[in-house]
Structures are given as structure tokens and as C-alpha cells.
Structure 1
Amino acid sequence: MVSIRLLLPLMVSCSVAASGQPPRHLPPCRVVQMDVFCSDQRLRSSPLNLPHAVQTLDLSYNQVQNLTEETLAYRTSFHHLNLHANKIHSIQAGLFKNMTDLKVLNLSRNHLSLFALSKIQIGPLTAVKSLDLSSNGLYTGMTDYFLSDSPSLETLSLSSNSITKIARNTFSGALSLSKISLHNNVILDIEDGAFESLDCLSELDLSKNSITCITDFNLCNLKVLNLSRNSMEVFQSSRSTQMFKLSRLDLSQNKMSYFPLLPRNNILEYLDISRNQLQTVNVTGSRERKVVLNHLRYLDMSYNQLRSLPESFFYCMGSLEVLNVSNNCLQAFSIVNRRVLQTVKTMDLSYNSLQSLTFGENALSSLEELFLQGNDLSILDHQVFQGRPSLRHLNLQQNHLEVCSSVHHQRDCVSFRSITNLQILNLSENGLRTLPANAFTNTPLEFLDLSLNPGLDMDVHSLSGLEPSLVHLLLKENNISRLNADLSLLRSLKHIDLSTNQLTALPLWNKESSIESLNLQNNNLVTLESSSMLALEHSLKTLYMGSNPLSCCSNLGFLHMVQHSTVVVPDIETVTCVLDDFSEPVNIERVTEEMCHQEKIQNYIIAVVLAALVVITTAVVLLKCCRSRKRKLNRSFSI
């Protein structure tokens, strides 16, 4: 009831409380029970008539400069105070002393470095649990004036400041801290013991700084550590045998040449060391320094310089589910032991220099996704993928593979038959020359990409066996002039891409077709068979037809479909046709049947005129011939 009675005067005061600023047309402050939201109102202070027991005040994106009791309308009942993105450079001493219920204080993106120069403390912050001081231009030593008396503080953000050093006593006034963000500073040095007194600390973000090494990591209670985007060359934990609670460690985008030396007893689940300078992984460490990673589920070593990755490296990773080693320099990869990586579900080996790939019998039995695109694979065991019963997604784009025919002893090819759960297969950019009959028998593909294989010769039965499963088929940029494979039998096919080929005729479809999306851009189609278009009309939803030399008057059925059906043609602006052999292309939307009728009439008239001219010309010629012959006869009989 209090908030309802105060709603109208508050709405008025929000629009005029800008202390000398001329009023402008802005939406009023929004009041929800005891919460007031006045973001982006050009205010220099809070509204005049705040509810007496206001709990939340949002003054973000305003023009507050001096933070005083008057600025906050002499209210002390706040639970949540948001002053983000103002111009605060002065804070009244002891302002927060009587705010015993204040839990969340956001002072980010202000000018608090000017306040810190006064060497006045803003505390005590007796009840504050979350404090945001990010983007304030603070540098080393200034944090003391904000943290010296914050006994309840749990979450602290000092990101995007100019701090260069974390001193031993930096957080001595906030011993309850559990989460600290120092992201995007210029930290070069961390004094010994700077974080050790924080027994509750579980998350520490030191990303995007200038830290060069960690040589004695000993924060046993820490659960999440982010050291990405530094200049780290070494990460080495202490030799302690104590159990470390660290579960997530991000060391990406550093300068490490060696695999990090992790705590011996750990429960690490997530490790990212991508975008470093790793050239090798050490698997010969001493027994007392040997690290077991039995809890590790995610390992990312992409974008390094690894040339080899021995199978023994994975012996201690009994729970690994995701392995990313893409964008390295691997030439061979082999997993023979069925007990190694037996829990891996996703493996990314893309964009290496792989020429050899070996999987032992029953190895990688849990593998669901395998990414091998961008390698040099050409000769593999022809049944290398058959022994992976869980495999459902296989990407072989940009390799040099050939597809085996039904003759299993054929060399230099890979078989894609009887991969029992494979649903997604990408064979684009492999230089495929032929696609034999029954190439995918007993493999329930839903998505098949055969694009960018110029000159691909498909057998009429290439796709046999995919009738009940195939939904997406991509055949773009194959330089196909005639499609041999019978697509009408693929009763589940909904999306097909035939763009950028040399097609002169549409594939045949029947009325049972379920095609919803068809891309025919950049072909040589002049006339679209009306039977095929009628067969598609009941299911087709999206059609791409741009950049084809269509004839306007030979495609009246297509014209009617475009103008009167629910089929969407996203590239309609590029779909043109010609009315006759000598006319300029016309956008298909501008063509009417009357134009074609007029064209027929004009052609008929022209034909009649031409015929008449031919008759008259012929008559004249015959007449001249007759007269000439008559003259000759007359001369012959003259005396």
C-alpha cells in the first residue's frame, strides 16, 4: 500500500530530480513493491520521494557525481544498490555504516580512482556480500580503501582496472571472500600468501593479465581458476600430497611449451590449454611426480604445435569425455588398446596433417562424434569406422578419401556400410570421383554432405538404403549436369542443396515427395518440368532459384507457384527470366501471363507477316521467271 500511495509523486520526481537539468521526455522510474528502477534518467541524485523502506534502488547509467546521504534521499534500508555507469568520484565518509541490510553494492564504471586519492575508506561494509568495483581506473594499493572492513564480503569484482600487483595484505579485510575477479588488469606480480588466508576462496579469475609463471600453486580449496590470456610460460603446482579441490583450470592463450605440472592428488574435470606453444607432452615423469587425471572429463589442447600424441599419454584419463586436439601438427594418431579413452564421446582431430589413423578392434566404444576435417587422409583401413558402435557424427571434409564399392577387398578406399548408428556424414571436398551403388547400406544417415567434389559420378543406386532415414542431402558445387541418383525414392528427404552445378533439368519427384527446402541456385535451368513442380508443391516451403537462365513463358506453372502459393523464395530478387531470345532478363515477380499471351500474339503476327512476305516474294520471283521465259520463247520463234 505504501508503494502504491507513493507511486504517482515518485513518477513525477523521477523526471524532475535532475538538479537543475531541464526536464526531458523520459519514462518515469518503475516501482515494483519496494524496488525502484531509475536507470538512464540523467539523474544527479535519487528521486525525492522514495518509498520509506525501499530495498532495491537502481540508479545505473545516470550522472551521479557525489555519493552522499542526500544523494540517496537519506534512506538506509537498501538491500541492493546499483550505481553502475555514473560519474562518482566522491563518497561521503561512513555513508554505508548504517546500511546494515545492504547485501549487493555495484559501483562499477565510475571514477573511484579519484576517490581513492583522498585515502578515505568507504567502510565499514558490515553486511555487503557482493561488491563490484570494476572499470574504475583503480591501480595497485587503492583497493585497501574499499576492502579494509568488509567482513561479510563473498563476491568481489576488480576487473578492468589497472592493478599491477596483488600484495600479501590486499584481501586481509575481507576474509570471507569466495569469488574474486581480477580479469583484465595488468597484474605482473602476486606476492606469496596473497590468497592463502582466504579459506573460503573457491573461484579466482586472473584472466587477461601479464602473469608470466605460477611455480608453486598451493590453493587446495580453490575449485575454479582462470589464467587464460596471460603470458604464462610455466604452471607448476606444489609437491604437496594434499587433495586439491580444483575442478576447472583454464590456461588457454598463454606461452606454455610444456604440459602443466598439475597437483598429484586432484579432482580436476576441465582443463583448457589451447592456444599455447605445446610441442610435446611429457609421459615419462618420476613416480613421485606422476599425476593421475581420473576425474578429467574435458581436455582442450587445440591450436598448439603438437607433432605427436602417444597412446600412453591417455592412460591416466579414465573418465575423459571430450578431447580436442584440433589445429596442431599431428601426422598420425593411434588408439589400439580398448581400455584407453573408452569413455570419450567427442574427439576433434581436425586441421592437423594426419596421414595415418588407426583404431584397434573395440577401441573407442563410446565415441559419438569424430571430427577429422582438414587433414591429409587418403589411405585408411577400409573398415576403420565400423567398430565404433556409438558413432553418430563423422566429419571427413577436406581429405582425399574414396568410397568403397561392395567389393570389400578393394584397396585405397573407406567403407561407410553398416556403421550402425551413424546419422551425420560430411564427405565434402574430398575429390571424390565416383559414388558406387549401395555406398551407405545399413547406415541410417540423416545428413549427408557430398558437396565440392567436382565431376562426381553417382551411380543410380548410390543412395540406396537411405530411403527411410535421409533428411538432408548436400550436392552443391559438383559440376553435375545430370543427376543419376533417383531422389524420388528417398521418402524422408526434406532438404536438398543442388546449387552451383550445371543442371539443365530437375530431378524427378513423385507426389509422395516430402521436400521442404530446395536450393537450385546457379544452374542452367531454362524450363522447370511442370510435373516435378506439381509433385513438390504440396510439401515445398522454401525454394532458391536465383541465377538460372529461365524462360518466362515456358514456366507459367512455376510463376503461379511463386505468386500464389505459400512457397517462400528468399532470393526472389535474383530470380529472373527472359520473354524471348533477344529480350533483357525480367524479375520473375514482374512477369504476368498476359505478357506471355501478348508475346504469343506478337509472335503470331510476326509469323503471319513473315509468311506473307515469303509468299509475295515467291510470287514476284515466279512472275519474273515466267516473263523472262516468255520473252525467250518469243525470240526463238521470230523470223
Structure 2
Amino acid sequence: MWRQESAERSSSLSLSICEWVCEDVRPTWSGGAPKFSRQLNVSTMAASQLLLLLLAGCVAASVGPPRQLSPCQVVQHDVFCSNLSLRGAPLNLPHPVQMLDLSRNRVQNLTQETLAFHTGFHYLNLHSNKIHFIQPGLFKDMTDLRVLDLSKNHLNVVASSRVNVGPLTAVESLDLSSNGLSTEMTDYFLADSPSLTNLSLNSNSITKIAQNTFSGSLSLRKISFHNNVILEIEDGAFEPLDNLTELDLSKNSIMCIKDFNLYNLVVLNLNKNSIDNFQSTQSSGLFKLRSLDLSENKMLYFPLLPEMNTLEYLDISRNHLQAVNVTGSKDERMIINLSFLRFLDMSYNQLQSVPESFFYCMGSLEVLNMSKNCISSFSVTNKEVLRRVKVINLSYNYLQTLTFKENSLQCLEKLFLQGNDLTTLDHQIFQRLPSIRCLQLQENNLKICTSEQNQQEAVVTGQNHLQLPGCVSFTSVKNLHFLNISENNLRTLCANAFVNTSLKVLDLSFNAGLELHDGSLSGLEHSLVHIFLKENNISSLNTELSSLRSIKHVDLSANQLSRLPKLHKDSSIESLNVQNNNLVTLDHQTFHVLEHSLKTLYMGSNPLSCCDSIGFLHMVRHSRVVVPDIEAVTCVHDDFSEPVSIVNVTKEMCHRPEVPKYASFFVVLLIVVLACLLGAVVFKCCHLRKQKHMRSFNA
């Protein structure tokens, strides 16, 4: 590439020489009379010939095709030279150049020559080079430069010279990520950057943010220190930045935040630090903070947030919270007003209980995630609590008690309860959720009520205890679209279990020994689209899928089916999974029904008979049905000791050569003749014995 650049420079130099010679020669010849000195001898003729040759070269250069900027790409005023092993920009760049991309090259020294003496850049990308020297004052004349990307270089070497890189007069966005910069090195890049609004210092070696770090760049709005080793933030480091709205301090080593007082900050990311305490300053001023990420820290208590705030997003997941009291206070009811909060994530903690009063101040909450804790009981009895919540995730706790009173949680659409110890619920609990659309109930021990149990009411027993039917009802949960009740040890699914629902997806998988009765899926004829019956040890499907006119996806894998369920000619099934069953032969009529709608079929791990599956093979080869696991589909053939891949089966393997009719006639005739001969021999033998006997008697 160096040779190529040298060639370009020499070519440009030759062109310049040609132009100079042409300018000097033209006046000499245009005058008509020669002006050469009489002292010139015979060599004058040779010189004249040389000048003529140079003139011809100049003319050829002027009329030849325009030079191409190779290998860079030029789009109007933007030049792209990324990943070309260049040490600098080509000299013949077009004028003006507003955007230059020299990323992923071999630039080491950043000078005027490196940039081909251009100064009119708006955007300059030098990402992923080997820059360890920057010419002092290089950016002084770049008054239009707005975006400068110097990430993934060796700017720590540049900073060791203790010379300011600036002034960066007009630069608004500066990326210094992955440069090995330590704490004081950033000053040489930020000392004279009055227009800077966006700064990235990700993946460096910064340990402290000093009080005067940003004194030369007071217009900053967004700063990112992600993935450093920050241990200390000096008091007042960010206070001069009145326009600062976003601050990313994630993946550092910060241990504590006290007296948080950045009133104008909107987004604060403290993810993946070692924070055990977060406290804001005691003030009646309004904080503009809307998003606070404290996930993956070591917090023991709920953060002490500003009293006057507009916080909408709060993530304190993956900490060590054992209770929701604030900063270790004894009164668990002490909580800061969070009336604007819409998203709260407290998952992956050690919470054992969350009182209903904790949510009194969260009137706008829409998403609540408390999964992966140790909560054993959860209840909402006040209709004003969580009145706008749409999603509640209580999965993978130790829930044994769940209570929702009438008219509570009117907006709840998704409820995640999987992976708990739920065995007994108020059988009408889900009918109290008028907006519920999605229920995740897998990995519990619930039973589904029968038609009779659905009509039972809770009975009050001694000491005002309620005796519940011991099952849960899904009938008349009118907006329910998704229900997962897999892994609940269900044994039977009675008729009309889902009547008056709008179920589109039903998962009943991993309920070993589950028995479906005729009418188990009644009421779902026109709504159900997906049904999952995987690994239920089903040997025969008593309920007919034919009645489900909207069904498109059926999973019957890992069961004991020896034949496919009968289907209606108007079946709409598009995807069918019957892997890992006991299918020996496939009903040709069933596949004929499926052919017009079926798009995907999974058939692997079945003991198919090769010769009884010719119809299936014909369908696969001559229809649009796709069998993704076709390579794993095998069959058994008498002539082979090992299963045969279904794709290798041919008709010839299953048809013995037929015996001609005339041969059969001769075979029959031969048998008759042999029988007659045998009879004659037997008769002859008997006759001779009789004669011999008579002779002996006469004697």
C-alpha cells in the first residue's frame, strides 16, 4: 500500500511538473521566433526534442480519463477508506471533503499530511488505528469539525507528552474509548472543547473523576465512563455541567453514592458496580431524573431517592435486598413518593415479603418484576393499589398464597407465576382480572376444576376459614389468549375446561399421564391457534383436533402415539410435530387431508416401517411440505439390520418380482400331474399286496 501511495504521489508530482513545463514552454513557442542563446550548440536539437516529448505527455495527461480515487469510495463529499491498511488519506481526495472514514487502518502519526492537508471536515473517523502521535494544533483550523472518533488507538502515548490536543473549537461529539487512558490523561483532550456535548471514555483505565476534569468542556450533555475502574468521584465533579442529562458509570468499582444532587440529570446508569448504599441529598428541589439503573450491585436496602422526583424507570435487580425498607430504616412503610414510576425491577434479590403498602405511592406503575426472590405470599386487596399495572412477574419464588380481591388489578394483562409452590388458589381468582391476556402457570401443582367444581362457591368453615374447591377455574376468563399450565402434574382435563375464553395458545406439555376427554377443548373451536401436548405419555388422543377450525400449530412430540389423530378435510394445520412417538405407519388418508394446509412436519425418532411409509415419502417428495428433520427420519426394513434413512427408500425395495400368469398355470398343472402319479403309484402298490395275500390264502 505504501508503494501505491508513493505511485500516487509521484504521479501527482509528474503532473505538476508537466503543468510547469507547459506554462514555461508555451510562451517560447507562441512567439514565433526562437529566443535561445547563440551559445547553444548541437545539443539544442536534443533539448528541443525532449521539450516536445514533455509537451506531448502534458497534452495526453490533460485529455486522458479522470483519475479514480482507488481503493476508497467517494459519495459526493464523503470519502470511505475503512479497512484498507492505509497509513494516511490519499493525496488526491476531492475538494471539499466533509466526511472522512479512515477507520481500521494503520495510521500511527496523525498530522496534516496524514489527512492530505484537508481542514474542512465535518466528520472524522479514525477508529481502530495505531495512533500514538497527534501533531500539536492539528485541529485548530478545523472550524467545521463536529464529530471526532479516536477510539481504539494508543492515545495514552499521546497524553504522556503532556500537550493539549485541542483546541477542539467546534467538536460536539468525541469518542476516546479503548485508549488505555488513566485519570489525568483525559484533561489533555478536554481542556479546550467549549462545544463538546457528547463524550465517550468507555473501556479505559480511569480510577477517579476529578473536580476539574470537565472545566474546559462545560457544554457536555452526555458522558459515558462504561467499563473503567472508577473508585472515586470528587465532590462537585459534575456540578458545573448544567446541561448534563445522561451519565453512564456502569461497570466500574464505585462503592457508595451519597448526597446525589444532579438536579438536571435525566438518565443515570450505575449498573455493575459495588454500590451498597444510594442516598440523594435532602432537598425540596425538583429532580429531573427519569431512569435509574442500580442493577448488579451490592445494595441491602431500597435506595433513598429524591423526595421531589419524576422517576419513571428504576432497576435494582441482582442486588442483596432482603426487605423493601429504605436505607435500613426500621419502618418498612417509609418510602419516597414514586408517583411517576412506570417500571420497577426488583428481580434476583432475597426478598421474603413485599407488603401491599409498599405500592401505595406508585399510582402510575405499569410493569412490576419481582421474580427470582423468596416471596411466599402476595396479595392486592385495595383497588387503588397498582391500579394501572399491566405486567406482574412473580415467577420462581416460593409462592403458596396469592390473593386478588374483586375490582383490583383492573388493567393487569400479563401475570407470570411459573416456578412456584402453588397448589391451592381461590378457584375464581382469574375471573377477577378482567383484562388478563397471558397466564404463565407452569411448574406448579395446580388442578383444573371440573364443570361441577366451577359452580361451587367457597365454603366458610370454623374460625372463618374458607374451604376452597382445591382447583382453579379458567372458564369465562373472556380475554385470556395465552395459557401455559405445563408441568403441573395434571392427570385429567375435563370437558368444557376453557369454555367462554378466547385462548389462542394453550400449553399442556410435561403433564405425564394427562388424559384428554371428548370435549376437553370445547369452546376453543374458533380461537385456538397453537396447542402443545409435548411429553404427556399420551397413547391415543381421545379429543378430536378436527373441531379446532383455527388450529395451525400442533406439538404432539415425545408421546406414545401409534397413529395420528383423525383430521377433518378442512383442517388448517400448518405445523405438526410428532417426533419421538411410536408411529409405525402413517395413515395415507390423514396426510391427504393435511396436504392442502400443512407446511412443516417433524417426524424424527419413530419406528416407521419402510414399506408402509411409501405414501408419506411420496408426499414429502411431491408436495410443498417441509420436513426439517428429514435426515433423522428412519424406518425399519426386513432386508437391513439397521434402520434405513427414509430418503433412501425406493419402491423397488418394497416390491418382489411378480410371477407371470402362464408360469402359475404350469406350476398348478405340475402339481396336479404329480398328485395323479402319486395316486396311481399308491393304487398299484395296494393292488399288488392284495393279490399276494389271495395267493397265500389259496395255498
Q: Normalized per residue, which structure has more helix?
A: 2
Q: Which amino acid aligns with 1:351?
A: Y
Q: For the structure 1 residues 67 and 360, does the alpha-carbon distance in structure 2 shift closer, same or farther, using more than 3 Å as the test? A: same
Q: For the structure 1 residues 203 and 370, does the alpha-carbon distance in structure 2 shift closer, same or farther, using more than 3 Å as the test? A: same
Q: Distance in 2 between matches of 1:217 and 1:623?
A: 122
Q: Which residue of 2 aligns with 1:114?
A: 157
Please state how far the C-alpha of 1:292 moved relative to its aligned partner. 0.5
Q: Which residue of 1 aligns with 2:265?
A: 222
Q: Which amino acid aligns with 1:192?
A: D
Q: Is the 8 A contact 2:325 2:335 kept in 1?
A: no
Superposed counterparts of 1:41-120, under 5 Å: 41-120=84-163
Q: Is the 8 A contact 1:17 1:46 kept in 2?
A: no
Q: Distance in 1 between matches of 2:353 and 2:238?
A: 38
Q: Which residue of 2 aligns with 1:5?
A: none
Q: Aligned pair 1:508/2:576, yes or no?
A: no
SS, match of residue 589 in structure 2? helix
> What percent identity do the matched residue pairs reach?
64
Q: Which amino acid aligns with 2:205?
A: S
Q: Distance in 2 between matches of 1:374 and 1:624?
A: 87
Q: After superposition, give the CA deviation of every residue in 1:391-426 in whole Å (9 maximum; x if it has no partner).
A: 111110111111111112272111010111000000
| Selected match of 1:203 from 246, 259, 268 | 246
Q: Distance in 2 between matches of 1:82 and 1:392?
A: 49
Q: Which residue of 2 aligns with 1:448?
A: 506
Q: Is the 8 A contact 2:337 2:361 kept in 1?
A: yes
Q: For the structure 1 residues 155 and 635, does the alpha-carbon distance in structure 2 shift closer, same or farther, using more than 3 Å as the test? A: farther
Q: Which residue of 2 aligns with 1:352?
A: 397
Q: Is the 8 A contact 1:17 1:45 kept in 2?
A: no
Q: Distance in 1 between matches of 2:584 and 2:173?
A: 68
| Selected match of 1:377 from 422, 443, 447 | 422
| Selected match of 1:569 from 611, 627, 631 | 627
Q: Aligned pair 1:232/2:298, yes or no?
A: no
Please state how far the C-alpha of 1:291 moved relative to its aligned partner. 1.0
Q: Aligned pair 1:540/2:585, yes or no?
A: no
Q: Aligned pair 1:523/2:578, yes or no?
A: no
Q: Is the 8 A contact 1:14 1:47 kept in 2?
A: no
Q: For the structure 1 residues 14 and 439, does the alpha-carbon distance in structure 2 shift closer, same or farther, using more than 3 Å as the test? A: farther
Q: Distance in 1 between matches of 2:243 and 2:111?
A: 33
Q: Is the 8 A contact 1:504 1:524 kept in 2?
A: yes
SS, match of residue 559 in structure 1? helix
Q: After superposition, give the CA deviation of every residue in 1:580-636 in whole Å (9 maximum; x if it has no partner).
A: 386532222222223322x4749x9xx99x999999999999999999999998999
| Selected match of 1:258 from 301, 316, 326 | 301
Q: After superposition, give the CA deviation of every residue in 1:367-407 in whole Å (9 maximum; x if it has no partner).
A: 01111111111110011111111111111011111111111
Q: Aligned pair 1:486/2:544, yes or no?
A: yes
Q: Which residue of 1 aligns with 2:31?
A: none
Please state how far the C-alpha of 1:531 moved relative to its aligned partner. 1.4
Q: Distance in 1 between matches of 2:390 and 2:683?
A: 96
| Selected match of 1:414 from 472, 493, 496 | 472
SS, match of residue 505 in structure 1? coil
Q: Distance in 2 between matches of 1:633 and 1:112?
A: 128
Please state how far the C-alpha of 1:56 moved relative to its aligned partner. 0.4
Q: For the structure 1 residues 65 and 433, does the alpha-carbon distance in structure 2 shift closer, same or farther, using more than 3 Å as the test? A: same
Q: Which amino acid aligns with 1:570?
A: P
Q: Aligned pair 1:150/2:187, yes or no?
A: no
SS, match of residue 185 in structure 2? coil
SS, match of residue 618 in structure 2? helix
Q: Which residue of 1 aligns with 2:73?
A: 30
SS, match of residue 394 in structure 1? strand
Q: Is the 8 A contact 2:363 2:388 kept in 1?
A: yes
SS, match of residue 159 in structure 1? coil
SS, match of residue 314 in structure 2? strand
Q: Aligned pair 1:162/2:205, yes or no?
A: yes
Q: Which residue of 2 aligns with 1:463?
A: 521
Q: Which residue of 2 aligns with 1:431?
A: 489
Q: Is the 8 A contact 1:164 1:188 kept in 2?
A: yes
Q: Aligned pair 1:174/2:232, yes or no?
A: no
| Selected match of 2:372 from 307, 316, 327 | 327
Q: Distance in 2 between matches of 1:145 and 1:549?
A: 74
Q: Distance in 2 between matches of 1:188 and 1:349?
A: 35
Q: Aligned pair 1:590/2:635, yes or no?
A: no
Q: Is the 8 A contact 1:17 1:44 kept in 2?
A: no
Q: After superposition, give the CA deviation of every residue in 1:99-129 in whole Å (9 maximum; x if it has no partner).
A: 0110000000000001111101101111000
Please state how far the C-alpha of 1:340 moved relative to its aligned partner. 0.5
Q: Which residue of 2 aligns with 1:274?
A: 317
Please state how far the C-alpha of 1:28 moved relative to its aligned partner. 1.9
Q: Distance in 2 between matches of 1:563 and 1:631?
A: 71
Please state how far the C-alpha of 1:200 moved relative to its aligned partner. 0.5
Q: For the structure 1 residues 227 and 86, does the alpha-carbon distance in structure 2 shift closer, same or farther, using more than 3 Å as the test? A: same
Question: What runs of 5+ residues in structure 2 fail to find an aligned partner?
Answer: 11-68, 457-467
**Largest Rg, 1 or 2:** 2
Q: Which residue of 2 aligns with 1:192?
A: 235
Q: Is the 8 A contact 2:527 2:550 kept in 1?
A: yes
Q: Is the 8 A contact 1:14 1:29 kept in 2?
A: no
Q: After superposition, give the CA deviation of every residue in 1:455-483 in whole Å (9 maximum; x if it has no partner).
A: 00111110010000000000011111100
Q: Which amino acid aligns with 1:263?
A: P
Q: Is the 8 A contact 1:13 1:49 kept in 2?
A: no
Q: Give the aligned CA root-mean-square deviation in angstroms.
A: 3.0
Q: Which amino acid aligns with 2:131?
A: I
Please state how far the C-alpha of 1:552 moved relative to its aligned partner. 2.1
Q: Which amino acid aligns with 1:451?
A: S
Q: Aligned pair 1:313/2:358, yes or no?
A: yes
Q: Distance in 2 between matches of 1:175 and 1:313?
A: 40
SS, match of residue 141 in structure 1? helix
| Selected match of 2:436 from 372, 386, 391 | 391
Query: TM-score under structure 2 normalisation?
Result: 0.83
| Selected match of 1:301 from 341, 346, 351 | 346
Q: Distance in 2 between matches of 1:345 and 1:403?
A: 25
Q: For the structure 1 residues 614 and 459, does the alpha-carbon distance in structure 2 shift closer, same or farther, using more than 3 Å as the test? A: farther
Q: Distance in 1 between matches of 2:671 and 2:346?
A: 82
SS, match of residue 386 in structure 1? helix
Q: For the structure 1 residues 94 and 632, does the alpha-carbon distance in structure 2 shift closer, same or farther, using more than 3 Å as the test? A: farther
Q: Distance in 2 between matches of 1:163 and 1:336?
A: 50
Q: Distance in 2 between matches of 1:327 and 1:49?
A: 62
Q: Is the 8 A contact 2:212 2:237 kept in 1?
A: yes
SS, match of residue 99 in structure 1? coil
Q: Is the 8 A contact 1:327 1:351 kept in 2?
A: yes
Moved more, 196-205 or 574-583: 574-583
Q: For the structure 1 residues 108 and 425, does the alpha-carbon distance in structure 2 shift closer, same or farther, using more than 3 Å as the test? A: same
SS, match of residue 42 in structure 1? coil
Q: Is the 8 A contact 1:15 1:41 kept in 2?
A: no
Q: Distance in 2 between matches of 1:288 and 1:433?
A: 44
Q: Aligned pair 1:291/2:349, yes or no?
A: no
Size of the aligned set, in residue pairs, is 619
SS, match of residue 323 in structure 1? strand
Q: Which residue of 2 aligns with 1:23?
A: none
SS, match of residue 519 in structure 2? coil
Question: What runs of 5+ residues in structure 1 fail to find an aligned partner?
Answer: 1-11, 19-25
Please state how far the C-alpha of 1:140 moved relative to its aligned partner. 1.1
Please state how far the C-alpha of 1:287 moved relative to its aligned partner. 12
